[in-house]
Amino acid sequence: MEKLMNDLQNFKIEYHVMNGVPVKNLLQETTCRQFLQKQMKNWHAPHIVVAASMFAKRYAYMAVSSTLFSLVQHQTVCCLTVDKLLYGENHMLQIPLDEINLLQIKDENREKQYETLFSRLFAEQITPLFEVMQKVSKIKSSVLWENIAVRINSIYQKLLAQDLTDKQKKQVYQDFIYLKNANGAIFGLRENPIRDYLKIDQELEKRPCRVTCCLFHRLEKKNEDLTYCKVCPLPKK
């Protein structure tokens, strides 16, 4: 457990400081609008649409990338339920230490456990959050969901570049196929919103660019030494 908890800190997750906005409160339109307006200032975003996309990218890294990493490296995940999480002033995801719930994945029950795990992550957390963000910012849902897919593509690419065991490599591909072929139910939607954006290995190398634009280039001041995101579909000036 200690190794897992330490690894999760690399995904901007912390356990002791509880000074953030409860994520469940962001499911309320007024709170979500006020939150995104604040993030506009924090990220030097010229419009609430840009702030919404940047937050979605950040949240995808903390909640989704961390989960997929944990499945491969630890076969155990920290169940991130929307009613237990806070988004901190330091842009980290906060989990009360006494509320941490670990789920050990077992091969004989993997399919059922995955259905429960990803339904909690997507249908009960990310989909409702994205729906409210769409309403208050008018951002396209395709941008938000491709933000999720890009994080998935990236974490699997990074994992495959590591010194994995044969079993772990197999797990990466199995998990990728699971998410690619998943029906809309685990997302709380009629169709899988990330299927068309998921890529791995040669497909990712040949077609690394996004379909939609995440609007990173519109930030007026960036912490990274980039003008465009690394997989930007826009023609570079």
Extract the runs of DSSP E, i.e. beta strands, from the chain. Answer: 13-14, 21-22, 76-78, 86-87, 93-94, 102-104
Please report the DSSP string for 176-189 in residue order.
Answer: HHHHHH--GGGGTS
User: What's residue 37's pLDDT?
Assistant: 97
Token readout for 21 is 């906005």
Determine the pLDDT at residue 100: 87
Give dist(CA 36, CA 33) in Å, integer.
5
Contacts for 22 with CB less than 8 Å, ≥ 6 apart: 83, 85, 86
Gap between the Cα atoms of 225 and 227, Å rounded: 7
Residue listed under structure tokens 């330091």: 90
Q: What is the pLDDT of residue 102?
A: 92
* Exposed / middle / buried, residue 47 (Cβ in 10 Å: 0-12, 13-18, 19+): middle
Token readout for 36 is: 């995104």
**For residue 152, what is the enclosing H or E element?**
helix 141-160
Spatial neighbors of 141 by CB under 8 A, at least 6 apart, are: 130, 134, 193
The low-confidence residues of the chain, meaning pLDDT below 70, are 223-224, 236-237
Please report, as a single letter, which amino acid is at residue 29.
E
pTM of the entire structure? 0.95
Phi/psi for 14 (5° steps) reads -135, 160
Q: Considering just the CA atoms, what is the radius of gyration of the chain in Å?
A: 17
**How far apart are the C-alpha atoms of 53 and 217, rounded to whole Å?**
12
Provide the pLDDT for residue 236: 64
As given in the structure block, the two tokens for residue 68 are: 């997929």
pLDDT the model gives residue 237: 56
